[in-house]
Amino acid sequence: MITVDNIVKRFGGIRAVDGCSLQVAKGSITGLIGPNGAGKSTLFNIIAGLLTPDRGNISLDGMDVTGWPAHRLFGQGLARTFQIAHEFSRMTVLENLMAVPAGQSGERIINAWLRWSKVRAEEARIRARAEEVLAQLRIDHVKHELAGNLSGGQKKLVELARTMMWQPKVVLLDEIGAGVNRTLLSEIAGEIERLNREHGYTFFVIEHDMDLIARLCSPVIVMAEGRVLTQGSMQEIRQNADVIEAYLGGGKV
C-alpha cells in the first residue's frame, strides 16, 4: 500500500529522517512509535505531501508519488489527521464535512448563476454523505454545532469523519489520542477498528499511548534517530532491548 524507500530529509545540517525505509500493508493498522525527535512527524509530513524529501521515494499502490502535494495525494486516496485538530472553527460540523470534496460545482461563480439546479443537486448528495458519515461515527447530534465549540476528542472525531468523505485508501493518524479523555479515546479506537474491519481502511498511526498502540496496531514500527530501529508485534517491541534503550535508557516501554 505505502512503500517508503531510503527517505532522507535535512533541516540545516541535521537529518531529521536519515535513510528511512518501511512498508504499510493494505488493510493493516500499522503503528509508528519512537522517542521524541525520532523523525516520526517529519516522515508523516513527507508521506502526506507537506514536505519534499531530499532523497528517496514514496509509492502508493505501486505508484511513485514522491513530492506530490497534499491535495493531489488526497485525490489519490491518501488522507491524514493532525495532532492538533485543524477544523474550520466558525463553520458547523456538517459544513466542515461538506467542504471536503474538491471541485464542487458551486465553487465556480458562473455555475451558481446559470446552473443552480446542478449546484443544488450536488450539494444535496454531499450533505447526504456528510450526514451518513456523522451517523456512522455517532456524532450526528452535534452536526449543527460550531466545530470550534467542540471538545478536543470530538474534534478528533470530526477530523476522522472528514477523511471518510472521500473514502480514502489509507489514513495517516497523527496522535489521535492527544488531549482526549479515556472514555472518548476508547470510542475513537473502536471506530478505527470498525472502519478497518468493515470498510477495509488502511491506517498508519503515530501515537505515544502504548496501550492504544497495543490495542490497535499490528505491526508496530519503531523509529529512532531518523531510521527504522525494528518492527514487530507490540509484545515483541516491549521486550526488545534496543527499543527499551532508545526510549528510556533501560526503562520499560
pLDDT per residue as tens digits for the range 50-59: 999 999 999 9
Does 201 have pLDDT greater than 80? yes
Residue listed under C-alpha cell 476528542: 153
DSSP code per residue over 19-39 = EEEEEE-TT-EEEEE-STTSS
Does 244 have pLDDT greater than 70? yes
Pairwise CA distance, residues 145 & 143, whole Å: 6
Give residue 88's region: left, alpha or beta (phi > 0; psi -120 to 50).
Answer: beta
Give the chain's length: 253
Does 112 have pLDDT greater than 60? no
Alpha helices in the chain (DSSP H): 40-47, 70-75, 93-98, 109-114, 116-136, 152-164, 182-199, 210-216, 234-238, 241-248
Does 250 have pLDDT greater than 60? no
User: Per-domain residue ranges for the chain?
Assistant: 2-87+152-248, 89-149
Indicate the pLDDT class of residue 222, thresholds 50, 70 and 90: very high
Pairwise CA distance, residues 29 & 191, whole Å: 12
Regarding the domain with residue range 2-87+152-248, which homologous superfamily does it belong to in the CATH classification? P-loop containing nucleotide triphosphate hydrolases (3.40.50.300)
Residue listed under C-alpha cell 500499522: 30
DSSP code per residue over 134-163 = HHHTT-GGGTTSBGGGS-HHHHHHHHHHHH
Q: Give residue 49's pLDDT.
A: 95
Pairwise CA distance, residues 132 & 130, whole Å: 5
Residue 41 vs residues 9, 50, 158, 227: alpha-carbon distances, Å: 12, 11, 21, 13
Indicate the pLDDT class of residue 197, thresholds 50, 70 and 90: very high
Widest CA span in the chain: 69
Pairwise CA distance, residues 111 & 105, whole Å: 6
Residues 3-13 have a mean pLDDT of: 95
